[in-house]
Amino acid sequence: MPIKQKEEEALVQLVAKLKNVLPDQLDAVVLYGSAVDHDFAQGFSDVNVLVTMKSADAAALKAAAPVIDWWVRQGHPVPVVMNAHELAQAADVFAIEFIDMQLRHRVLHGNDPLTTLYIPRDLHRVQVERELRTAMVKLRQAYLLAKGNDAVAKLMGSSVSSFATLFRHALIVFGQEAPLEKRAAIESIGKYLNLDVTAVGQVLDIREKGAPAKDCRAMFGDYLAAVTRVTDEVDRRLG
């Protein structure tokens, strides 16, 4: 679903407040992620914002701090703050994040800093595997400490959005069409790898639709197996 009018009004206020306290420093304010389109899940998804400044130095941050404090008190995460030069420099180490920003963003103020941003795709592949392996290790660690069905449901629910994003980026690495919507990305990686991703879809239902979380320990086995297979395929196919 799209973001609500309340969030839209808050974004307008955010831009106005930043322009007021940073009259000579503010370059651009960009909304990015699921809040841009119909993949936004009210109560789960974040309203993510990128702020670029001419110089994101201590003085500029001090001036912006009261505005950011107001924004966070509205229930939103702290914006990503960079200067335009840093944006280009960081494209090699934040390939996943910046590709996602390029695919789903809306400029709220200033010139678009993302459209012409060059992102090295060889480093993107490395980051995809690293993020998959890191997320998988953390998932296993959390499971070792999970006590009861509800705890297992919670740990899977808290990880499924990240895995859906990484599945989509695995499709990009494989040279396949990569749907932006989470469920479509999960289904697409399943079809491409001939992989049963039913458990991943069930976890998404638990997270977004409040579906009953039954027999989650059995579901976890299938969920972990799907994540492991995608990770291994990224490594096996691309070295």
Return d(Cα 145, Cα 29) in angstroms, integer.
41
Element housing 27 (H / E): strand 26-32
In 3D, which of 191, 200, 205 has the Cα closest to residue 160? 200
202 backbone φψ class: left, alpha, beta (φ>0; ψ -120 to 50): alpha
Q: What are the percentages of helix, strand and coil residues in the chain, rounded to 5? A: 60, 10, 30
Enumerate the β-bridge partners of residue 83. Answer: 53
**pTM for the complete prediction?**
0.83
CB-CB contact of 193 with 176 (8 Å): no
- pLDDT in single tens digits along all 239 residues of the chain: 566 788 889 999 999 999 999 999 999 999 998 888 766 666 657 899 999 999 999 999 999 999 999 999 999 999 999 998 899 899 989 999 999 999 999 999 999 999 889 998 888 999 999 999 999 999 999 999 999 888 999 999 999 999 999 999 999 999 999 999 999 999 999 999 999 999 999 999 988 887 777 888 889 999 999 999 999 999 988 76
- 3-state DSSP call for residue 51? strand
